[in-house]
A = this chain, B = another copy of it.
């Protein structure tokens, strides 16, 4: 019966079986010390010449070899206690070792700070570092919290296809697929399907990969990422969606705080500050603030630039005590065809971006729900409604006022943990020149 390392403290004085990777091995006089790592932690182990076979085996061990071992859990003397280690009050005296997986010599210490390309070239090894295990275990908690919250609110999960004909966002940055004798595309979002699903269950969510053929490589963009998508019917306006998004964010932050104290400590990360209600302002008001406080006149621009987003986040933190701020009312002509125009502010939409610590992490808003309005809007955008006939059925056969949003899981992870480059918060990031390994030219 295997005992996990985080349970060893309960077995002081007993013999246990453990298994894991050799995190480090060093000789100290006649003693061999092995830091053994499993999915729950690291334990300092010692092998003495007294246990001949184990000692001979221990002498051969190298980093990342996989072993099963037996040993006695001993309490460390007071002065040997390591307060930085969860298991710092105990030590394992190993009596038997069996090697179950061998490793070649490591190219570098996996805990080393590497440049991004070296890190990405060696992910199967570098992801094993304490830092990376902490990042992606928090990422798992974020998506878990997303689902827990929405299920409590009565949302139904659905599975959205990624192979699509026409793209919802209508942009150029879409990947082409050879679909038998046809050309198809990879979905940039589950937009059409989540709207259709509002007709089925009113409140829906979906999680899954989405694809953007962005040619520029930045610290903010990914060619493939995990989108957390929500859509709900019978709303009054976009404020209902923003309110839902705010409560969801509260819930995610609490869940990460409750489940991941150890990981946050490893990363030295502080979760974002979120007030009871996330502040919001129109794009035009944000632009005024930028002009007044930072001296740049961007009033004519249809969106915020990355620098503008950082400025407004700085403003929100200093003036509104919030790491989050909603920017609303982007101009109608720059938003996709399904976005709802504000009757009280013509030319501007009931849509929003949510900024967190200088970066947009959530985009959403109210959608057009009347068939005739949507067909007219598609035409006004210079598109052909016939190409959207499948999607349009949802509206032809009755849709309530509705809206929703989409969040990038990797961006959210990066902002929660103050990681500058979103690629470091992505397990296996795709770049224009990289699919796991660099693409040859």
Contact = CB atoms under 8 A, between A and B. Distances in A.
A100 B182 CA distance: 39
Copies of this chain per assembly: 2
A342 B224 CA distance: 38
B399 A439 contact: no
A299 to B, nearest CB: 36
Contacts of A154: 39
Given A66-B398, A122-B393, A370-B102, A213 B180 contact: yes
B193 A428 contact: yes
Interface in A104-135: 104, 106, 122-125, 127-128, 132-133
Given A100-B400, A234-B19, A177 B179 contact: no
Interface in A389-441: 389-391, 393-394, 396-401, 409-410, 427-428, 430, 432, 435-437, 439, 441
B156 A140 contact: yes
Given A140-B158, A159-B226, A177-B175, A101 B428 contact: no
Interface string A198-223: 01111100001101010100000001
A272 interface: no
B430 A163 contact: yes
A103 B208 CA distance: 31
A305 interface: no
Contacts of A211: 162-163
B136 A200 contact: yes
B157 A140 contact: yes
A161 interface: yes
Interface in A18-45: 19, 21-22, 38-39
A90 interface: no
A405 B391 CA distance: 35
A164 B223 CA distance: 12
A127 to B, nearest CB: 5
A385 interface: no
Contacts of A397: 64, 103-104, 106, 124-125, 128
A148 B164 CA distance: 31
Contacts of A181: 441
A332 interface: no
Interface of A: 2, 19, 21-22, 38-39, 63-66, 68, 100-104, 106, 122-125, 127-128, 132-133, 136-137, 139-140, 143-144, 147, 151, 154, 156-165, 175-182, 184, 186, 193, 196-197, 199-203, 208-209, 211, 213, 215, 223-224, 226, 234, 369-371, 389-391, 393-394, 396-401, 409-410, 427-428, 430, 432, 435-437, 439, 441
9 smallest A-B Cβ distances: which pairs?
A: A103-B398, A64-B398, A124-B393, A390-B436, A124-B394, A39-B202, A176-B178, A140-B157, A66-B400
